[in-house]
Structure 1
Amino acid sequence: MTTYVRILATTTAAVAVLGATLAGCADGAGKAVTSGSSAARAAATSSPGAVKGPPTLAPGPGGLTPVFKRGNPAAGKTVALTFDADMTADQGTRAARGERFDNPSLIALLRRLEVPSTVFMTGRWAEEYPTQAKAIGEDPLFEIANHSYSHYAFTADCYGLPRVGETKMNEDVQRAFTAFDEAGARNVVPYFRFPGGCYDDAALRALAPSKVTAVQWDVVSGDAFATDAEAVAQQVLEGVKPGSLVVMHCTRSAAPVTEDAVQQIVPELRKQGYRFVKVSELMSH
């Protein structure tokens, strides 16, 4: 309970600041994958999902958009690291002044460590960094998921984020998919993450026409505006269980220590026998 309260407090504080300034199947033996091996990239290109298309969940009661929060623990020691590439619709002037909402060195690290990952990208981010969006989308190690176009909230009172009107929610999601396409990004999966993680039945109903699966998480990294990489890593390592889905960020100005934290998280989880997968694989079991 103490750990849960600490994580919740960290998350609330971090996302509140984020809202103010920016508007988350193992084999039978559960074997570890070494960072120098090509096994992770091979798995990313040869998984059944790559052939059949990414899995989705069936709609909820009344046709509501389904919500996925973690994988099946019985499937083994798998874990999905996900990274939100946040940029709100109104932050172009800040980017023009030199603020960096990308984090190419983090993406490079994930490639070096061969960690399959899902990047939840806003459409505005893809517009600002089309070359990076295209490169991420062309790399079979990654998949791009939708984090809205605007990074505005889909509910009232969501950490101070501006709100998308209910009649505009589906349009906002579709606009993000269009931005990915215009950037030349491929390997885009039909998953959606609500800005701030905030949603209600009205939002789930509004997104039903998009036929996406909403993806949340069960482990909060606390990396938003954190200054202590070791604390972020420890929080993740304490929270991960078989089938866990971790939310982190791929935004240099908003999450400056994420790269350092990942350098600690990946080898330790592999030492414990975990295998890293994308959300599409986590959802397939």
Structure 2
Amino acid sequence: MVAGCIAVAAVLGLSACGTASGALQPTTAAATPGSASPQQQPTGTAASTTAPATGSDGATGSGPAAPSAAAKPGTSGVSGTSGTPSASGTSGTPGASGTPSAPAQPAATARTTSPATTPATGTPAPPPAHPGTATKVIGSTASGGRTVALTFDDGPGPATGQILDLLAQYHVKATFCEIGQNAAANPALVKRVVAEGHRLCDHSVHHPQPFEKLSHDKAVYEIGAAHDMIVKAGGPSTEVSWFRAPGGGFDADNEHIAAGLGMSSLGWSVDPRDWARPGAPAIVSTVQQQLKPGGVILMHDGGGDRSQTVAALKQLLPWLVAQGYTFDLPAA
């Protein structure tokens, strides 16, 4: 009788001491807000997903890397969609013996890929790996017609407040695609974005590139943890409606992960490459040349010095109004 109880206790103790499998931790170094590199960079220079990114300002290990190519007019802002992610990260399923695995770690620190896992926020966990190329990336406004959607990436940062001031002056609502760690470091700015009626978009935790080459587990962490960071910074009722892959690196897997968290995949149709700081006149000229009704403009409020973006926006807002454009949100 005693020996039997000891055997049962040993079995139960072994089960209770097991660790949750599939828990993910970021593999890239956390970037310092305001110094991250934004979207685009020449092909062949994308940063490794396992090492700190090189910023457009020349600093290493300070933030997100730039994408492989600029979006062309009329495109969805997708680059490098041929990457097929790893189908790893499906561990944590009870084995053949029927012994259950240990509980998953809280969503605030890690995510698993098991559909049965429920993060601390109450949002369903992302689905399993879904290899393939992206098919549902948005590059147009919700209403169509002579409308335009303004989107700002890589913040919140030092320029975010100035951009919010300009948008308020022209009664414009925009979409801010925020990096998770920057949102966590600047919760007051996230709250201001929400309070002034703008919308939020998930832009990953660390902006790793090429994003479409990440393993499934890493993509789950980058998308899911960033979503949680943004919601926490904005407050309990904060909504994150879109996901924008760093560099436009969408594929079916990260698109599927985002959809599992209730987010649409957001691209763009106009890219003035303001991240490269070509000068305010060049930024304005590119927008004027590329914009068509229903377009989505990609700009940046973080990732480095955005004074040229602010200067260009001061010219673009009155120009857009004079051209008869009204401001809209991206399609969902």
TM range (shorter): 0.5 to 0.7
Indicate the structure with greater helix content.
1
Q: CA deviation at 1:272?
A: 0.9
Assess, with a 3 A threshold, how the Cα gap between structure 1 residues 212 and 66 changes in structure 2: closer, same or farther.
Answer: farther
Q: CA deviation at 1:209?
A: 2.7
User: C-alpha distance in 2, partners of 1:63/1:235?
Assistant: 29
Name whichever of 259-268 and 244-253 sits farther off.
244-253
* 1:157-185, Cα deviation, whole Å (9 max, x unpaired): xxxxxxx4321212322211211222134
Name whichever of 231-240 and 64-73 sits farther off.
64-73
User: C-alpha distance in 2, partners of 1:174/1:273?
Assistant: 38
> Could you state the TM-score of these two structures normalised by the residue count of structure 2?
0.57
1:250 corresponding residue in structure 2: 301
Q: CA deviation at 1:249?
A: 0.3
Alignment map for 1:153-168 (pairs within 5 Å): 153=209, 154-156=211-213, 164-168=214-218
Does the 8 Å CA contact 2:40/2:247 hold for their aligned counterparts? no
Percent identical pairs in the alignment equals 26
1:149 corresponding residue in structure 2: 205
Does the 8 Å CA contact 2:132/2:251 hold for their aligned counterparts? no
* 1:93-132, Cα deviation, whole Å (9 max, x unpaired): xxxxxxx655321221111222110001111111111111
Which of 218, 221, 231 in structure 2 is aligned with 1:171? 221
- Give yes or no for the alignment of 1:192 onto 2:243: yes
> Could you state the TM-score of these two structures normalised by the residue count of structure 1?
0.66
Assess, with a 3 A threshold, how the Cα gap between structure 1 residues 14 and 78 changes in structure 2: closer, same or farther.
Answer: farther
User: C-alpha distance in 1, partners of 2:296/2:185?
Assistant: 27
Which of 310, 315, 332 in structure 2 is aligned with 1:259? 310
Unaligned runs of 5+ in 1: 1-9, 25-59, 88-99, 157-163
User: Secondary structure of the equivalent of 1:219?
Assistant: coil
User: Secondary structure of the equivalent of 1:119?
Assistant: strand
User: C-alpha distance in 2, partners of 1:76/1:268?
Assistant: 17
Assess, with a 3 A threshold, how the Cα gap between structure 1 residues 14 and 267 changes in structure 2: closer, same or farther.
Answer: farther
User: Secondary structure of the equivalent of 2:212?
Assistant: coil
2:195 corresponding residue in structure 1: 138
Query: What code does the residue aligned with 1:67 have?
Result: V
User: C-alpha distance in 2, partners of 1:105/1:125?
Assistant: 17
Q: CA deviation at 1:150?
A: 1.8
Let me know the Cα RMSD of the aligned residues. Answer: 3.2
Which of 46, 60, 70 in structure 1 is aligned with 2:140? 70
Assess, with a 3 A threshold, how the Cα gap between structure 1 residues 80 and 86 changes in structure 2: closer, same or farther.
Answer: same
User: Secondary structure of the equivalent of 1:155?
Assistant: helix
Unaligned runs of 5+ in 2: 1-38, 48-52, 56-62, 65-70, 72-129
Does the 8 Å CA contact 2:160/2:189 hold for their aligned counterparts? no
Identify which of structures 1 and 2 has the higher relative contact order when contacts are C-alpha pairs closer than 8 Å and 6+ apart.
1
Which of 156, 163, 171 in structure 2 is aligned with 1:114? 171
Does the 8 Å CA contact 2:139/2:267 hold for their aligned counterparts? yes
Does the 8 Å CA contact 1:69/1:217 hold for their aligned counterparts? yes
- Give yes or no for the alignment of 1:84 onto 2:153: yes
Does the 8 Å CA contact 1:144/1:188 hold for their aligned counterparts? yes
Does the 8 Å CA contact 2:224/2:261 hold for their aligned counterparts? yes
